[in-house]
Amino acid sequence: MGNTFLYVIPVLIWGSTWLAIKFQLGTVPPELSVAYRFLLAALILFVYSKWRGLNLRFSRSEHLFMALQGLLLFSLNYVMVYFAELYVTSGLVAVLFSALIILNVLFGALFLRSPVSSRVLLGAFVGVLGVALIFWPEVASLQIEGMRLLGITLGILAALCASLGNIVSARNQRAGLPVIQANAYGMLYGSLATLVFALVRGVDFIFDPSLGYVGALLYLAVFGSVIAFGSYLTLLGRIGADRAAYVNVMVPMIALALSVVFEGLQLGVVEFAGVALVLLGNVIVVGRRQRAAGA
């Protein structure tokens, strides 16, 4: 697939997953929904791998790195996001997550010895500022105290885990681990870790058989996990963790557009200015590299 296609897929899918997640809130504890999602996604990837005859035998050290990828990217990241949104708005979490690109630049330089690009950092700051303007009412009214402080802390930790998971995936690909099989094992290990977390918390292991919950679970597993993560991490291996992370800045744009269409959200001058900055940041970060790659 071309890089542009790999870039657009996770942006469109993850920008819409918030609609599916709304159908999962209520009956089933959040950590169980996360575990069900990635268990199902792992099963799909293993079946696909067996059907295609892909190698599923790896060394112990390779399994350790796939497990680390799964713990960071498919477990801690999502569990912390769910709990963060119990105390702060989803818009504020989106602003925190948009800083993922800056974290990827820093962690990439630290752990992968990747060069720090001033162009990427400039585009990242422009994009993060744009996301902050899009959700400006939520940012401006923020009071950093009490449970809100806990929510912010969890959101920051979630972004840190996601970024480190990105770096581990980049390391795994450099070491020759294929994305599909690494994701299959990573999602399996991540979901098992989440189930252990749920067990420690003493939550009731229940499942909601309703059409809304099952439909959302299938969408999140197939599209939000198998397809979106497969595309994103493949892109990450091609153009670097720093540039690929701008996907997380563009995602709120799709969520915003869907909110306008389905929820009647009205946009003002500040929000439009934020959208313009996000698009400008996108051009700065990935425009030249994408054209050079012939995507």
The C-alpha atoms of residue 97 and residue 155 are separated, in whole angstroms, by 8
The C-alpha atoms of residue 240 and residue 174 are separated, in whole angstroms, by 11
Quick one: tokens of 112? 């992968």
Kindly state whether residue 198 falls inside one of the protein's structural domains: yes
Kindly state whether residue 29 falls inside one of the protein's structural domains: no
Kindly state whether residue 28 falls inside one of the protein's structural domains: no
Cα-only R_g, the chain: 18
Q: What is the predicted pLDDT for the residue at 294? A: 41
Kindly state whether residue 24 falls inside one of the protein's structural domains: no
Q: Is 78 left (phi over 0), alpha (psi -120 to 50) or beta?
A: alpha
Kindly state whether residue 33 falls inside one of the protein's structural domains: no
Angle at 74 between CA 71 and CA 77, to 5 degrees: 85
The C-alpha atoms of residue 58 and residue 98 are separated, in whole angstroms, by 34
The C-alpha atoms of residue 16 and residue 20 are separated, in whole angstroms, by 7
Q: What is the predicted pLDDT for the residue at 26? A: 79
User: What domain range includes position 161?
Assistant: 3-19+38-292
Its pTM stands at 0.90
Q: pLDDT truncated to tens, each residue of the chain (295 aa)?
A: 689 999 999 999 998 887 788 778 778 998 999 999 999 999 999 999 999 999 999 999 999 999 999 999 999 999 998 888 778 877 778 888 888 889 999 999 999 999 988 999 999 999 999 988 988 877 777 677 778 888 889 999 999 999 999 999 999 999 999 999 999 999 999 999 999 999 999 999 999 999 999 999 999 999 999 999 999 999 999 999 999 999 989 988 888 887 777 767 777 898 899 999 999 999 998 765 444 444 3
Closest CA to 197 of 21, 72, 32, 26: 32
Amino acid code (one letter) for 162? A
Q: What is the predicted pLDDT for the residue at 138? A: 75
The C-alpha atoms of residue 253 and residue 235 are separated, in whole angstroms, by 20
The C-alpha atoms of residue 174 and residue 269 are separated, in whole angstroms, by 44
Kindly state whether residue 182 falls inside one of the protein's structural domains: yes
Q: What is the number of domains present in the chain? A: 1
| CB distance 282 to 123 below 8 Å | yes
Kindly state whether residue 27 falls inside one of the protein's structural domains: no
Q: State the DSSP code for 245.
A: T
Q: What is the predicted pLDDT for the residue at 288? A: 55
Q: State the DSSP code for 266.
A: P
Q: Is the dihedral of CA 4, 245, 191, 60 positive or negative?
A: positive
Alpha helices in 99-227 (DSSP H): 100-111, 118-134, 136-140, 146-174, 179-201, 211-221
Kindly state whether residue 247 falls inside one of the protein's structural domains: yes
Q: What is the predicted pLDDT for the residue at 261? A: 79
